[in-house]
Amino acid sequence: MLSRRDSNTQRVAALDALARALKLKPGMGVGEACAMHPNIEVVEAEPEADRRLLEGLSDWCDRYTPLVALDGTDGLFLDITGCAHLFGGERGMMDDLLSRFFHQGFEIRAGLASTPGAAWAAARFGGDLIVAPGEEEELLAPLPLAALRLPSEIRGGLESVGLRTSGAIMSAPRAPLVRRFGKEVVLRLDQALGRVQEAISPRLPVPPLSTERPLSEPIVRLDDIEALVALLSRQLKIDLERRGEGAERLQLSLFRVDGAVSRITVGASRPVREPKLIQKLFHERLTALEMAIDAGYGFDLVRLSVLVVASLDAAQPDFDGGLSDPAADIALFADRVRARLGDGAVRQPYLVESHIPERAVVSEPCTRFSKGSKPVEKIVPASRQRVAKDRPIRLFSPPEWVEVTFEAAVGQPSMRFEWRRASYRVVRSEGPERIAPEWWRDQTDAAARDYFRVEDEEGRRYWIYRQNSEDMPDTSPRWFMQGVFP
């Protein structure tokens, strides 16, 4: 028995078959139920976990059709238009689905009809029923009002005037019904009978292209998966070529025997179509994920989908047949590194308009070598780049705090600073170069920085700055290490 908290009382939320046989009912108080049957087991309901489970199931149902939608908290809609023949007809598909769910340990009921409403009613009130087109009215007529997916208050109102079955509503005049109970009654009825179209909204976006291979013997090893990727990508290539497109984002879905689905996505910075390239990308990703993929008892369905397509015109190869495009080489290289080590693994710096050294550069995942890359905002175009001289070649971001001391030596005062627990004596210094805070971005109390180039005794050159705090002239300024010169 599951309990839930409902307006400050513990109520029974759901019951299993055994508890139902004890004449317990959902909605009754837990105390009452325990009084009736003291040794009953009460478990707190977890709606979040239920939802996750339902989402997992909906992902798994992806193997039947890409259009899977959640229905409330306890149901799934599968739009199997054009998919049933792949599983040997509607009956074959339903049997397959029921037996697979049974073996995973779920008790489910399924209904199949031409409209979502009728299928909903068939599943809940019929039980594993296939409704032929045109027979919806016959199915619904004897069923109670709940089969029409009506909210309980409307249902109560209808029942109070003696309309207890769907058939009674069908035969009742429509205009008074709408006037008294609202449009929903008629809308639900029309939806169930197919007079009004009802669309289901799939949980996952439907990929433009996908190809799959069901396996009679589940596979476990990565090598086998990669071999299948090769096979599937060859099939994809035919479709992509026909459409004149290439894939920018690909997803490999691995359906495990026990219902878990692993989805592995790789991106390409320029559209790809060649099976060899696709294979390489997945090879890196799979190698990186080797530990993360739990094959369990094996995968029995492997699907390769193209999530994002982009137009790709066939390129004319050179006579020597070699890949002569260095940009393509680099793009593939960057994609492979990113597939293996994550999106940020290969970056390219861009200059942006800012005086603050650490803000003057943004590094974006490498896109220059991809086709149709989008320019990042506020990047300084090459013609207007005015690089300040005397900038370090390596930068610490954020700057590191250093402790600066001045000592009065013979002749002139010399400066020492302590950075990372080592002490440096400054022999020469240049500066200051003042960089004012950017008032349009910073807080008003941001302090100006005075930059110095300094050289220590051994010839190492650093870029350190002094942060001037003008509000508090008494306190000694703070110093920071920002960069290293060659």
Partner 1 sequence: MASMAVARDVVRDLRHKIAKIEGRLAERFDETQEVTGIAPRRVSGPAVLRTGVERLDAALSGGLPSAGLIEVHAGAVREAGAAAGFVLALLRLLPAPEAAAPLLWIGTSEIFREAGRPYAPGLAARFGLQPENLLIAEADKLLDALWIAEEAARLDAFLAVLLEIRGSSPALDLTATRRLHRRALLAGRPLFLVRAASEPEPTAAPVRLLVAPAPAATRLTLAGPLAGSIGPPAFQITVSKSRTAIPAAFTLEWNNDAFQERRDQPAKDTGVVVSLFADGQAAPPALREIVAFPERQGDAAGAEPARQQHPARRRARRVG
Q: Contact positions toward partner 1, by CB under 8 A?
A: 326-327, 329-330, 333-334, 336-337, 340-341, 344-351, 357, 360-361, 363, 366, 368, 382-383, 385, 387-397, 420, 422, 427-430, 453, 455, 458-461, 483-486
Specify the residue, 199 or 422, whose C-beta has the smaller distance to partner 1: 422
> Is the CB of residue 347 less than 8 Å from the CB of residue 363?
yes
Specify the residue, 96 or 284, whose C-beta has the smaller distance to partner 1: 284
Residue 438 CB, nearest approach to partner 1 (Å): 16
> Is the CB of residue 450 less than 8 Å from the CB of residue 465?
yes
Whole-angstrom distance, CA of residue 185 vs CA of residue 46: 32
Q: How many CB atoms lie within 10 A of CB 252?
A: 24
Whole-angstrom distance, CA of residue 313 vs CA of residue 326: 18
Beta bridge partners of 403: 418
Residue 226 CB, nearest approach to partner 1 (Å): 18
Residue 401 CB, nearest approach to partner 1 (Å): 15
Specify the residue, 416 or 461, whose C-beta has the smaller distance to partner 1: 461
Residue 420 CB, nearest approach to partner 1 (Å): 8
Residue 17 CB, nearest approach to partner 1 (Å): 52
Specify the residue, 45 or 352, whose C-beta has the smaller distance to partner 1: 352
Nearest to 70 by CA among 56, 90, 87: 56
Whole-angstrom distance, CA of residue 38 vs CA of residue 33: 8
Residue 309 CB, nearest approach to partner 1 (Å): 26
Whole-angstrom distance, CA of residue 57 vs CA of residue 75: 10
E strand spans, 126-226: 129-130, 209-219
Specify the residue, 50 or 450, whose C-beta has the smaller distance to partner 1: 450
Specify the residue, 116 or 357, whose C-beta has the smaller distance to partner 1: 357
- Amino acid identity of residue 242, one-letter, is R
Specify the residue, 77 or 462, whose C-beta has the smaller distance to partner 1: 462
Q: Which helix (H) or strand (E) holds 159?
A: helix 152-160
Residue 8 CB, nearest approach to partner 1 (Å): 51
Residue 308 CB, nearest approach to partner 1 (Å): 24
**Diameter of the chain measured on Cα atoms:** 111
Specify the residue, 19 or 481, whose C-beta has the smaller distance to partner 1: 481
> Is the CB of residue 362 less than 8 Å from the CB of residue 376?
yes
- Give the chain's end-to-end CA distance (angstroms, integer): 72
